[in-house]
Amino acid sequence: MIVALRRSNVVLRTTGTVRFNSTKTSATTEVAPKKRASLAQIKKERNKLAASSLKDVFSILSPTGNGDDDEIPQNFDVSEIYADTSSFLKAPYVQQQYILEELKNKYSKMKWTSVPKEVKRMFYFVAYANYGPREGFPKVEENVPPPDLPFKIPSFLYSDDPKSTTRVTQTAPVNLRAAGDARQKQYEKETKMDPLSKTVIFLVIALTIMNFRRDRRVQKSNVAPVNEYEQFVAEKEMERELARKVAEAEIEERLASERAKAKKWYYLWLH
């Protein structure tokens, strides 16, 4: 404990309980440890917040919906949904979330032998029904193995008398992206290449093969390949140089002719 007194200011730094007693006044300062909120309280507050958010959304979307004083019920009569698991997909979103929370927080903590049969069916339906990412799978009522099982049914018995030398191989992995008709169509659509990409890839492969064959030919002949562009530029430069020389020769010839004529005229004028 640290107590500092400075004129009229009093600074207290305590880690426990401090009591000041006098004949006239008494002051008691107590610091109690903070209680950590339990998991149940956190979930309860979360459910309240979710219900409040849903109420606000419903009141905005529906003019005749819930008002500010209405409350979304925290408990629903979901016995009909448990009796008919297929009605789970048609139930409102709030009831679906309520059932999922009930399965997770209530029935998942019970012994499996104590869980009612309709709840077991709901567990199975939520996990393996043909909805969401499992859309297009066989219905759970058909009693058909789903296509995303990591093993085959019936299983292949390699040996009925296994020994220490019996080899066990790993089961071939299942491509979950192509399991089922709906996933198979989507997988083929995603992996199928468009014509433009095919054309570009074909051109790249063709150019690569041509350049490779050219490099091999140069390597075997030990002769550097002729740069066609540089050769073209050199030929053009030679043509320009030749044209310049021809033009200079013509100009020189014309000037010489003019000088010869001027000298003859001057010679005659003097005589």
pLDDT per position as a tens digit, 69-106: 444 455 667 888 898 888 888 888 888 889 999 999 99
- Per 3-state DSSP, what percentage of the chain is helix, strand, and coil (rounded to 5)? 55, 5, 35
Q: What is the pLDDT of residues 156-168, one digit of tens each?
A: 777 788 888 888 8
Tokens for 168? 């066990």
What are phi and psi for residue 44, nearest 5 degrees? -65, -45
Q: State residue 65's pLDDT score.
A: 47
What end-to-end distance do the CA atoms of the chain give, in Å? Answer: 139
Instruction: Pick the more confident residue, 129 or 205.
Output: 205
Q: State residue 103's pLDDT score.
A: 92
Q: State residue 238's pLDDT score.
A: 93
Q: State residue 118's pLDDT score.
A: 92
Q: State residue 187's pLDDT score.
A: 82
Q: What is the pLDDT of residues 230-261, one digit of tens each?
A: 888 999 999 999 999 999 999 988 888 877 77
Q: What is the pLDDT of residues 101-153, one digit of tens each?
A: 999 999 988 999 999 999 999 998 888 888 877 888 888 778 788 888 877 77
Q: What is the pLDDT of residues 45-62, one digit of tens each?
A: 887 787 777 777 766 665
Indicate whether 36 pLDDT > 80.
no
Q: State residue 180's pLDDT score.
A: 78
Indicate whether 175 pLDDT > 90.
no
Q: State residue 182's pLDDT score.
A: 79
Question: What whole-number distance in Å separates Cα of residue 7 and Cα of residue 134?
Answer: 76
Question: What whole-number distance in Å separates Cα of residue 187 and Cα of residue 177?
Answer: 6
Q: State residue 61's pLDDT score.
A: 65
Beta strands in the chain (DSSP E): 2-6, 9-13, 18-21, 26-29
Q: State residue 13's pLDDT score.
A: 46
Indicate whether 23 pLDDT > 50.
no
Indicate whether 209 pLDDT > 90.
yes
Question: What whole-number distance in Å separates Cα of residue 74 and Cα of residue 93?
Answer: 13
What are phi and psi for residue 27, nearest 5 degrees? -130, 135
Q: What's the count of helices (H) and strands (E) in the chain, helices before strands?
A: 7, 4
List of long-range contacts for 85-91, beta carbons under 8 Å, 24+ apart: 85/121, 85/122, 85/125, 85/129, 85/140, 86/125, 86/141, 88/122, 88/125, 88/126, 88/129, 89/129, 89/131
Residue (of 169, 79, 173, 77) closest to 117 by Cα position: 79
Q: State residue 21's pLDDT score.
A: 47
Each domain of the chain, given as residue ranges in start order, spans 39-156+175-191
Q: Regarding beta strands 26-29 and 2-6, do their DSSP bridges make them parallel or antiparallel, or are they unpaired?
A: unpaired
Q: State residue 208's pLDDT score.
A: 94
Cα atoms in the 13 Å half-sphere on the side-chain side of 168: 6
Residue (of 76, 115, 67) closest to 97 by Cα position: 76
Q: Which element (helix H / strand E) includes 263?
A: helix 228-270
Tokens for 208? 């690569």
pLDDT band at 37 (very low <50, low <70, confident <90, very high): low
pLDDT band at 24 (very low <50, low <70, confident <90, very high): very low
